[in-house]
């Protein structure tokens, strides 16, 4: 499986395009583009690789991860997939814009397909496993590709850090429980591709993450 990371918007959010070389099937995770140039960068990549985007996958519905989700879905014909437990966050995107004093427009967002813990999504010859990892937000999700030893973790865990829990719906105890039960139980060699900052591995976080 090919995984391409693009860092976008003022928050330095990592969005991911996962794509299968043979079938050209693709998913886009957390399209948080806020500028026309960022949107053009993503659509140019999709066009050049001749990708068929099947799903827009959302780890959670905070502003910096979803700003262009509906726009990209309209461009590609993909559906927007996330957790209904974050529905309130999606409806409050305009308020999130005001909270961070951003000069952008962002309508409320509803998802097309509700994803739950244990769901699977085929992508080419591989399977994406859905993990519910609440704590940063009530409906926080991570996407695990066991054959590629890759976890797209959103803002659940970072390189030697963890997600913040001071925003609406955050819960520190719940977040730590999610990390211990859903992330640290994955094979040590699993690469963690998070919503901000560099990649890490399960093994490194077991050894060096001060929050664990």
What are the pLDDT digits (tens) for 22-66? 999 999 999 999 999 999 999 999 999 999 999 999 999 999 999
Quote the pTM value.
0.96
Q: pLDDT class for 171, splitting at 50, 70, 90?
A: very high
Q: Is 83 left (phi over 0), alpha (psi -120 to 50) or beta?
A: beta
The candidate with the shortest Cα–Cα distance to 136, out of 211, 61, 192, is: 61
User: Is the pLDDT assigned to residue 101 strictly greater than 90?
Assistant: no
Classify each residue of 97-115 as buried b or exposed e, where b means 16 or more C-beta atoms within 10 Å of its C-beta.
beeeebeeebeebebeeeb
Q: What is the span of the domain harbouring residue 31?
A: 2-208
Host H or E run for residue 143: strand 141-145
Q: pLDDT class for 168, splitting at 50, 70, 90?
A: confident
pLDDT at 97: 87
| Cα-Cα end-to-end distance for the chain | 30
pLDDT at 165: 95
Alpha-carbon span 139 to 61, nearest angstrom? 8
Beta strands in 37-135 (DSSP E): 52-57, 79-82, 113-114, 120-123, 126-132
CATH number, residue 15:
3.60.15.10
**What is the 8-class DSSP label of residue 78?**
P
pLDDT at 27: 98
User: Is the pLDDT assigned to residue 6 strictly greater than 90?
Assistant: yes
User: Is the pLDDT assigned to residue 79 strictly greater than 90?
Assistant: yes
The candidate with the shortest Cα–Cα distance to 137, out of 91, 202, 95, 89, is: 89
The candidate with the shortest Cα–Cα distance to 139, out of 95, 88, 64, 79, is: 88
Count of the separate structural domains present in the chain: 1
Pairing of strands 52-57, 113-114: unpaired
Q: What is the mean pLDDT of residues 77-96?
A: 95
Host H or E run for residue 29: strand 25-29
Residue carrying structure tokens 């794509």: 19
Residue 142 β-bridge partners: 131
User: Is the pLDDT assigned to residue 106 strictly greater than 90?
Assistant: no
Work out the mean pLDDT of the chain and round it to a whole number: 96
Report in angstroms the alpha-carbon separations of 28 from 15, 195, 206: 7, 13, 28
């Amino acid at each position: 499986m090919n995984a391409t990371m693009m860092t976008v918007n003022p928050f330095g959010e990592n969005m991911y395009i996962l794509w299968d070389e043979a079938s050209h099937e693709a998913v886009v995770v957390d399209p948080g583009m806020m500028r026309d140039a960022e949107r053009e960068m993503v659509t140019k990549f999709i066009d050049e690789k001749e990708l068929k985007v099947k799903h827009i996958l959302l780890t959670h519905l905070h502003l910096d991860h979803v700003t262009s989700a509906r726009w990209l879905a309209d461009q590609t014909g993909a559906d927007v997939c996330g957790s209904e437990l974050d529905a309130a966050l999606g409806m409050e995107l305009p308020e999130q814009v005001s909270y961070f004093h951003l000069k952008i427009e962002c309508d409320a967002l509803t998802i097309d397909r509700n994803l739950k813990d244990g769901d699977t999504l085929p992508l080419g010859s591989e399977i994406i496993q859905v993990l519910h990892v609440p704590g940063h937000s009530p409906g926080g999700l991570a996407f695990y590709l066991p054959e590629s030893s890759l976890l797209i973790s959103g803002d659940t865990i970072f390189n030697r850090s963890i997600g913040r829990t001071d925003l609406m719906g955050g819960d520190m105890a719940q977040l730590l429980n999610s990390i211990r039960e859903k992330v640290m139980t994955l094979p040590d060699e699993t690469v963690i591709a998070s919503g901000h900052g560099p990649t890490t591995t399960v093994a490194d976080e077991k050894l060096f993450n001060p929050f664990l």
